[in-house]
Amino acid sequence: RTNNDNPNLSTMEICPMVSTTTGTSSRYTNNITQISNSIQQSNTVPQSKMEDLRSNCIRKSLTDQGFSKQAAELYMAAYDSRTAKKMSTAARKWFNWCAEQDIDPTKCALPRVADFLNLLQENYAYNTIASYRTAISDIHEWIEGKPVGAHPMITKIMRGLYNINPPKHNSSEVVDVFPSMEFLESLGKNNEMPIIQLAKKTAFLIALTTGSRPSDIVRINLLTQKEVTNGL
């Protein structure tokens, strides 16, 4: 069941109004209202609208706490586009589950957060569940003076999930890269191969020589690199 199946979950419940003051908080509320109404008219939550709803909920929460618009934007800038998309995907599942339970996703009781995290262990690894905790903590009001994700009960539950299903560590087995190097050599000269093959070759060599993860490679900006005699 999706949000639009539950008439009791209003826009104000999705991201509640603390006050009706004008200004930045009011502008975010108007955006939230428009996006939420659009979401309620469909059977699914579009990714772009989910990202907007999550972002505006966070911004409104910060401005309602007294943070300036500039401080709120700096907080949002801490997330790159990939992380923001990941958090929005997690928030969408949380919103939909809360709609089924007829509870407010931004200020529900702590046991409901625990129930949701417990349900995730059936299909998700610990690190994925941890990202859901972060997404919930971003949009949920604080409980007992702490972000919900840092509440002692939630940290204990996360420790329990870790103990039950700890993250799988990468194997220490030595990988033979010579077949890959031979394949790269078979592609021919750089100035003669298609750009897509050249891009893949470059990414592979960067990962091989620097130990970079895919998420590190996509963040490389040539404008910030400096050429030296022995490399970049």
Q: Helices (DSSP H) in the chain: which residue ranges?
A: 11-14, 24-40, 47-64, 69-76, 81-101, 110-120, 126-139, 152-164, 178-186, 195-210, 214-217
Segment 140-158 mean pLDDT: 90
Query: 153: pLDDT confidence band, cut at 50, 70 and 90?
Result: very high
Query: In this predicted structure, what is the pLDDT of residue 163?
Result: 92
Considering only residues 184 and 15, tell me which one the structure prediction assigns the higher pLDDT.
184
Segment 77-105 mean pLDDT: 81
Query: In this predicted structure, what is the pLDDT of residue 129?
Result: 93
Query: In this predicted structure, what is the pLDDT of residue 213?
Result: 80
Query: In this predicted structure, what is the pLDDT of residue 22?
Result: 39
Q: Please name the residue that has the structure tokens 């604080």.
A: 142
Query: In this predicted structure, what is the pLDDT of residue 25?
Result: 45
